[in-house]
């Protein structure tokens, strides 16, 4: 008989009998490392309820009621002109900075991996998004699973989770839901919008559909379209989840979850988040293989061990139906749709009053630098002010999460150069 054991690494708790002990140690380590953090924060909730003016979704459904989970950092100035809206990436959350130990009603998805804000190194006093100067807002997507209304939420009409009956979403629906939040806060023009990865898709939608509401647009590791490779990989992930016997068409909330399919989907995506060299460096240096997890096949590489762990860790914090809804929106991403513009140059010509800062990551295999090149050429042809920076990193797409020093000088240069205009937010 064989037994399979995975040794601990620095990127998360081991899958072992000592899991709880190691998790507590990792949480303590994170909090100690966060002594320059803004400290403890709490998630807030925006409750939209307007039967006379519902949120009209792209696929024909109207939402009269929905909730958005969000966090804010810094103070909104008197004329509401210093706000920055930050869009998270696909499986991110509203918790971008500080320490947040609990978000109620998530059925255990707020794991210790979520406690520290995902952009903590970028947000705070004197940081790139300086809380002494700016009011930063980060919102969990409509359709998400961290407090915003999504498939795992209770449908008020039935008293049961929405599950597969949750409306089909497009990227612009996610944006428009957050515009309603901005309206409720009295913010009519943002100092800036910032988005990385598919958060960059959302930033472009906001900037082009509401050009009068955005001053600066910061796009990191993103592009103007869904690429062929992304479509293939997204389809592979959708297939992995849908074919899990526990998925049951999305009706799994009263039984076992489709963890095998969701874990596989995460592994399919994860290999594009980091460069091969970074993946090799992150992987454990030793695999104790005594009982293979998959039938006869016995893993023999630290990289396999690492990827196995990434999937198993992820399923504890995310909902499969939310994952599918966001992937579906990604597959259908189309900046032009519904805008009346004939092409992207015509669309972005509406944004000539904006300033763009575009970042490429030279080792990015999720959004290759060619995608930012396409975007910058469109901006040039549309006569939109732009600055294009290529970051040299060995960490791949995840560089935007891990290396604030590479981005901060450029962010400060652009965000601080444009003086906040008194009255701009009125």
Marked catalytic residue, from 130, 173, 319, 364? 364
- Known active-site residue 364: yes
d(CA 206, CA 213): 8
Tokens matching residue 216: 């600066």
Q: Where are the beta strands (DSSP E) in 269-343?
A: 287-289
Cα angle 58, 60, 66 (rounded to 5 degrees) comes to 75
Q: What is the DSSP letter of 149?
A: S
Whether residue 149 contacts residue 156, with contact meaning beta carbons closer than 8 Å, is answered with no
**Which residue, 240, 239, 237, 196, is CA-closest to 218?**
196
| Cα gap 360→276, rounded to integer Å | 18
- Select which of 58, 81, 196, 197 is catalytic: 197
For residue 122, what are the contacts with CB-CB under 8 A and spacing of at least 6?
97, 128, 129, 404, 407, 408, 411
Active site residue 397: yes
Q: Is 197 a catalytic residue?
A: yes
Of 34, 397, 398, 399, which one is the catalytic site residue? 397
Per DSSP, the residues of 220-266 read ES--SS--HHHHHHHHHHHHHHHTSTTTGGG--TTS---HHHHHHHH
Could you give the residue numbers annotated as active site?
197, 364, 397
């Amino acid at each position: 008989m064989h037994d399979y054991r995975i040794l601990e690494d620095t990127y998360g708790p081991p899958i072992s009998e000592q899991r709880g002990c190691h998790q507590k140690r990792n949480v303590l380590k994170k909090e100690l490392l966060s002594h320059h953090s803004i400290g403890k924060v709490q998630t807030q909730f925006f409750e939209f309820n307007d039967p006379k003016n519902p949120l009209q979704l792209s696929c024909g459904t109207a939402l009269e009621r929905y909730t958005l989970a969000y966090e804010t950092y810094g103070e909104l100035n008197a004329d509401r002109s210093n706000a920055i809206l930050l869009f998270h990436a696909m499986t991110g959350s509203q918790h971008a900075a500080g320490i947040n130990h609990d978000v109620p009603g998530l059925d255990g998805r707020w794991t210790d991996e979520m406690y520290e804000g995902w952009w903590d190194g970028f947000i705070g006093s004197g940081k790139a998004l300086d809380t002494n100067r700016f009011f930063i807002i980060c919102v969990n997507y409509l359709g998400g699973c961290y407090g915003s209304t999504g498939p795992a939420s209770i449908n008020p009409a039935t008293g049961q989770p929405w599950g597969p009956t949750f409306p089909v979403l497009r990227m612009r629906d996610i944006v428009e839901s957050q515009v309603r939040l901005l309206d409720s806060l009295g913010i009519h023009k943002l100092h800036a919008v910032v988005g990385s990865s598919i958060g960059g898709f959302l930033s472009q939608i906001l900037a082009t559909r509401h050009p009068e509401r955005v001053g600066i647009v910061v796009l990191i590791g993103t592009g103007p379209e869904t690429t062929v490779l992304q479509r293939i990989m997204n389809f592979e992930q959708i297939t992995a989840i849908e074919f899990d016997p526990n998925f049951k068409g999305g009706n799994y909330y009263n039984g076992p979850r489709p963890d095998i399919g969701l874990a596989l989907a995460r592994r399919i995506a994860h290999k594009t988040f980091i460069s091969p060299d970074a993946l090799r460096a992150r992987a454990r240096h030793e695999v104790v293989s005594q009982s293979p997890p998959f039938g006869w096949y016995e893993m023999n590489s630290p990289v396999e061990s690492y990827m196995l762990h990434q999937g198993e860790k992820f399923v504890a914090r995310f909902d499969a139906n939310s994952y599918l809804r966001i992937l579906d929106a990604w597959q259908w991403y189309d900046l032009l749709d519904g805008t009346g513009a004939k092409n992207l140059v015509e669309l972005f010509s509406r944004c000539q009053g904006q300033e763009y800062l575009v970042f490429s990551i030279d080792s990015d295999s999720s959004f290759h630098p060619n995608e930012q090149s396409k975007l910058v050429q469109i901006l040039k042809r549309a006569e939109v002010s732009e600055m294009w920076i290529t970051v040299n990193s060995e960490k791949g797409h995840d560089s935007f999460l891990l290396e604030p020093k590479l981005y901060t000088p450029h962010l400060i240069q652009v965000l601080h150069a444009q003086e906040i205009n008194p009255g701009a937010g009125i």
